[in-house]
Structure 1
Amino acid sequence: MSNPISPERSVGIRVATAMFQMGIEGLPRNYELVYEAYSGQNSDLTKEFVAIGKVKSQQALDELGRKYLPHHHEATVLSKTSDHMRHQMASFIDLLEEEKTSLNDYGKIIGEASRSISVEGEIDRETLVKSIQQLSQATEQQTSKSQAMAAAAQQQAQSIEEVKSEIDSFERMKFVDPLTGLANRRSFNKAVAKVYANPDLPMMCGLGFAQIDGFSGLAASGESSGPDSLAGDHFVRHVGKLLHEVNRNGEFVARLDKDRFAFLINSAEESEIMRLIDGFRAGIASRPMISQKNGRSLGNATLSFGVAMSTLANSATELMSFAEKAMVMSAKNGGNRATLYSDKAPTGASRDWMIYRP
């Protein structure tokens, strides 16, 4: 009997087929762009991808990639920023040169006035008045120029701060899921790799995988319009918002794809990790999902959780495999529960905790 094709693998097949049919070159950045468009993680990206038309040039794809997947076009972003900074520095140097010239001219006027006043003998009234007028005019002009210089310098500083903010934002968005504002898979890959950065002394933590129970039914309920890949965005946003609200300890929470989430909790105690997982579950169930069509309550969202401790695994791959098995066990047993990959029950385990025995 053949093995069923997983949803993730199904999307992968669709992506490869679509790229072949549309004549899209098999570049890594193209694959991720098409994958994101078909998986429905970003409805705006999907709409703009479809709007390109049947013939999708590499230029059009790259323009879309720069907007939604900037990490593939970092060189372009940095080049643009570098050009902007060169312009800012050139303008600032011009201002300094202008200030230097103005100060030199002001110094000459002061010197001339000083010499005319310090001449030995009696100073006639006309010379004194003329010197005072010249000095007064030069001082007013210099004051005006200094104020303009200060304003221009402030504007330059603000412009530089905006460039810095753009770079910081670019760096942050490389690792943020656009639909929920949580960390994305790229960020999760980095985080889980750090757990075993020192294989002889892995970080003491727990990895949790979770998926929304009954998500396929929700996505097919007609709550979202457009292609199938867009259905369910409303519910994913709802869960993402609640995860933000309940995550008061600042634990690492990421959206992996579709309705799947990941949690990395820094603790060596299984009971503490499961207590925090229960907190996430309670938070998600604290507010009902509301229909976009008629405003009616669709009930509270629930998740199937699978948790594994880093101490049980020898690598990131093994840790993710253990958490995945535990999550599948939760889903198979009705969902709305957490399954711990362990051979013993933690102290204080609630009744709906399950133990996946390796």
Structure 2
Amino acid sequence: MTIEARKENLVNLGKFLGQFSNSGIEKNEDVPHNDQFFDRLIDKIESAVHYNGWFTKENVLFSIEEWSKALTQENLDKWLSKYDFPEVAPKTVGLILAGNIPLVGFHDFISVLVSGHKVLVKQSSNDQLILPVLADYLIALAPKWKDSISFISESSEGASKMKNYDAVIATGSNNTARYFEYYFAGKPSIIRKNRNSVAILTGNETKEELEALSEDIFRYYGLGCRNVSKLYVPENYDFDAFFQAMYSWNPIINQAKYANNYDYNKAVYLMSQFKLLENGFLILKEDKSFGSPIATLFYEQYSDVEALKNELQEQEENIQCVVSKNVFEHEVDFGKTQHPELWDYADNVDTLEFLTKSV
């Protein structure tokens, strides 16, 4: 299959996904194979919501809609234009996917396929319902995909069940990364670890910018590596405007799993006599760590922005995104962390360069 044919299939997949969004699910009769897959995807969305308490329908549809926006001809052309795709015998690339947010491993999935390789997928038990539908949709578009896509059975556990692969992309925690590095030592690999995102505030942010930041904090309940889990604020920062900008997300406390985490973390902090700021659905705790618990946002004060920039550059292996305005060199705009482009790679590791040059 040529690179142009592979792109065309992904564009058609994007059109299929474009029928599903939080603004409404509406069937488009012009989408290929819709009679076969439209109702099937609706069923799997509902099942995913019941299977995983963190996968609300709103968040699942948000993820699907973002992928529909990403998979356009223009975006694919821009993403793939800088790579050479040599005509070589396809290799099998094993994927060990995370399951913290819906379709979190989809970028790796399409990267392997668009590069001309075969994909062998080990899904997380937390997110195993929707990706097989999208894989079958691609096969319906082009039966040649059938030989390029396979899944390890749900009953299999761990990396040790992955057989007959030439390279691997594995995503997990810092602890599982050590296991992955040992187990896959003889194969080309990308091993991803824990990362968090931070925001730098100066005190000059507009109401609209702070409101946009709330999306970076609360989307997916803060479970993604692109979610802001820590703030850097100037000394003696007044949090009033910040809390006012967060207010639109107050219904999040009605989600039982989130509320349980909020209550638990608040109780632990109070018993430990930590100084807290909170508004009934978000706890702010001064802490030097990056990874804050659910319903908690860490913050740290700074006095010298240049020193802060140097500190964050030294910590770049632990940071996915830095949200700021005219402060950091590779900053992300307020409200944009959960809207990555195809060329925004996890851990800042170029997946396609790996797939075209190292596999």
TM range (shorter): under 0.3
RCO higher in structure (CA 8 A, sep ≥6): 2
What is the TM-score of this pair, normalised by structure 1?
A: 0.19
Structure of higher CA gyration radius:
1
Q: Return the structure number with greater helix share.
A: 1
The alignment's TM-score, normalised by the length of structure 2, stands at 0.19
